[in-house]
Amino acid sequence: MTAPGSGTPQPWLIHFFQRHSDSDASQRTPTVEYLDSVPITVAAEFDAILAAVAAAPPPSFSGGGKWEAMHGDMTGIHEVRVKSGGVNYRLFCLLIRTSEKLEGPSIVCLDGLTKQPRTAAHPREYARIRQYVSEFRKYGKVLQ
């Protein structure tokens, strides 16, 4: 999406996926909970990376190891990568170009995980993220 008459790409919006009451009675917002659990410097770095990706916008953002498309069972999901204090932090996101429920092209943050360097995430972690993708695609719910 570009600004009218300018040819300059408009920044994408950033949203936080919220669980639907049919899937979670408390309607949790996993990304907010995750960001509240990490050191404030890590949360600030996630925020800065997301802002840079949104401003690029995402299809043009080069990544530099901080924003990466996932592969295999996680194709279609992107991850924001932060390393701090010898720990790897990951935030998983979807790129949504059009949606009746969002106000324009958006980065939808799903959830995160924390792991030790050079270790694989447990398959149940990735299964949870894929479940959130399915839930988002079904309900399109984000934190308002």
Averages of pLDDT over each 10 residues, the chain, 144 residues: 62 96 96 98 98 89 89 95 97 94 95 95 96 96 92
Q: Is residue 96 part of a domain?
A: yes
- So what's the pLDDT on residue 60? 77
Q: Is residue 93 part of a domain?
A: yes
Q: Is residue 5 part of a domain?
A: no
Q: Is residue 104 part of a domain?
A: yes
For residue 57, the enclosing domain spans 13-139
What is the C-alpha to C-alpha distance for residues 92 and 70, in angstroms, rounded to an integer? 9
- For every residue of 72-109, DSSP letters joined together read GGGTTEEEEEEEETTEEEEEEEEEES--TTSSSSEEEE
List CB contacts of 48: < 8 A, sequence separation 6 or more.
none
Question: CA nearest 89: which of 142, 134, 131, 47?
Answer: 47
Structure tokens at 102: 């969002």
Q: Is residue 106 part of a domain?
A: yes
- So what's the pLDDT on residue 9? 75
- So what's the pLDDT on residue 3? 54
What is the C-alpha to C-alpha distance for residues 35 and 42, in angstroms, rounded to an integer? 8
Give the number of domains in the chain. 1
Q: Is residue 4 part of a domain?
A: no
User: H or E segment at 15?
Assistant: strand 13-16
Confirm whether pTM is higher than 0.85: yes
- So what's the pLDDT on residue 59? 75
Q: Is residue 8 part of a domain?
A: no
Q: Is residue 26 part of a domain?
A: yes
